[in-house]
Amino acid sequence: AQKITQTQPGMFVQEKEAVTLDCTYDTSDPSYGLFWYKQPSSGEMIFLIYQGSYDQQNATEGRYSLNFQKARKSANLVISASQLGDSAMYFCAMRGYNTNAGKSTFGDGTTLTVKP
């Protein structure tokens, strides 16, 4: 079984500051992928970043980076230099390669509000 836990229902950050959104996971799959998605108030889900379980380096995509700590089963999203447009709900998700192939499990999400 797969489980994603996001313990922060809501977060506030000042514009231009960095923010970390927490995500821990549990899975029986020996290899898997971890993802972060953004859902603005418009409703459409946007893929942000991917981390493979065997990747040695943390993933980065522009202002987004994923702090992957495999032993702790955590995959935190770091947003640097926050912008007002970053205000949205953020979902952590995982997908297994083998037994859970094709199925993604999502966390409950964290609502991020960027203050001017």
CB nearer to other proteins: give 14 or 99.
99
Burial class (CB in 10 A: 0-12, 13-18, 19+), 97: middle
Asked whether position 52 contacts other proteins by CB under 8 A, the answer is yes
Q: Scan residues 1-30 and list those touching other proteins (CB under 8 A).
A: none
Least Cβ distance, residue 14 to other proteins (angstroms): 28
Which residues contact other proteins by CB under 8 A?
Answer: 32-33, 35, 37, 43-50, 52, 91, 93, 95-98, 100-109
